[in-house]
Amino acid sequence: MPAQELEILESHACFGGRMARYEHPSRHCQGPMRFAIFIPPHQPGEKLPVLTFLAGLTCSEETFMIKAGAQRYAAELGLILVAPDTSPRNTGIAGENDDWDFGSGAGFYLDATQAPWQAHYQMFSYVTEELPALIARNFPMSAGVQGICGHSMGGHGALVCGLRRPGQYQSLSAFAPVSAPSQTPWGQKAFSRYLGDDTRQWLAYDSLELLKSSGQQHPPILIDQGRADPFLEAELKTEYLETLNDPQIILRWHETYDHSYFFISSFIGEHLNFHARHLGAVPRSPAHD
């Protein structure tokens, strides 16, 4: 099925479907990008909704597919899962590998405007335009039927993509999102270097600000947040979203859960059910061979 534009890195049977990783040349990021995809069991010719998952700092396109245990639910619900990498890699930009919270593995899902990063770090356009078009060309994607989900930096990314492109995504969800990056250290470090010192430019990538200005006109949002998350107080500020009293946001607090994929795996089934409902996915019995 995949055409020449995709190089396959690995492929495995999984829950009656197939999980694979690919590399392709990216127009927006001006270099090779990688993503993982899970195609659930389906009928020939059948088109399926797509749920994109954006991972957090230090992760890659592999992390979600290995750690979250989502394929089992996606197989039952008939959802394609797509997991892009968290940044361009090996761009040659000096210092790209110096920090774990900036550069490689930390693209923050924005379109950088500042040199030298703007030449490659165009993750917002990559995730919202280039990658979905690539998926639609090469896999049995139901055109225009998409949800987006993410964790931590990727939770920020999922909310920002969905809030800025409300016509493109029918459902949004996040685990422990960086909710107000303009006000917190990871976000301030990244935004100042990717977007520059004019903090007005930052607001276009700040979920709290986007939600304030949305007039509650946005796709339905599900957010899970652990109270034992060590990043909650300094970096996430998930409680700020609660102050919006937005009926389109379901924010669930979990007393004992932390920031790990053990938290994500515990609730990913409920997120997939939430997206499947809003995307009109057609549940099926898992068909192991």
C-alpha separations of 243 from 174, 211, 238, 247 in Å: 17, 11, 10, 11
Instruction: Tell me the C-alpha distance between 123 and 177, whole Å.
Output: 17
Length of the chain measured in residues: 289
What is the nearest approach in angstroms of its own copies to the Cβ of residue 261?
Answer: 7
Question: Is 28 tagged catalytic?
Answer: no
Q: Before 166, cis peptide (omega within 30)?
A: no
What is the nearest approach in angstroms of its own copies to the Cβ of residue 12?
Answer: 4
What is the nearest approach in angstroms of its own copies to the Cβ of residue 173?
Answer: 16
Question: Is 229 tagged catalytic?
Answer: yes
Instruction: Tell me the C-alpha distance between 196 and 114, whole Å.
Output: 6
In sequence order, the 6+-apart residues with CB closer than 8 A to the CB of 244 are 208, 211, 212
Catalytic residue, candidates 26, 60, 104, 152: 152
Pairing of strands 31-39, 17-26: antiparallel
Question: Is 224 tagged catalytic?
Answer: no
What is the nearest approach in angstroms of its own copies to the Cβ of residue 245?
Answer: 24
Interface positions with its own copies (CB under 8 A): 12-16, 19, 66-67, 69, 71-72, 226, 228, 254-258, 260-263, 265-267, 269, 288-289
Catalytic residue, candidates 218, 229, 275, 278: 229
Nearer to its own copies, 205 or 257 (CB): 257
What is the nearest approach in angstroms of its own copies to the Cβ of residue 170?
Answer: 26
Instruction: Tell me the C-alpha distance between 273 and 278, whole Å.
Output: 9
Nearer to its own copies, 66 or 234 (CB): 66
Nearer to its own copies, 137 or 252 (CB): 252
Catalytic residue, candidates 28, 42, 151, 259: 259
Q: What is the 3-state secondary structure (H, E, C) of 152-191?
A: CHHHHHHHHHHHHCCCCCCEEEEECCCCCHHHCHHHHHHH
Ordered alpha helix ranges (H), the chain: 63-67, 71-77, 123-125, 131-138, 153-164, 185-195, 207-212, 239-242, 261-279
Nearer to its own copies, 118 or 266 (CB): 266
What is the nearest approach in angstroms of its own copies to the Cβ of residue 289?
Answer: 5
Bridge partners for 21 per DSSP = 10, 36
Nearer to its own copies, 19 or 163 (CB): 19
Nearer to its own copies, 27 or 67 (CB): 67
Phi (first) and psi of residue 29, to 5 degrees: -90, 0
- Cβ atoms of 201 and 144 within 8 Å: the answer is no
Token pair belonging to 4: 């020449």
Catalytic residues: 152, 229, 259
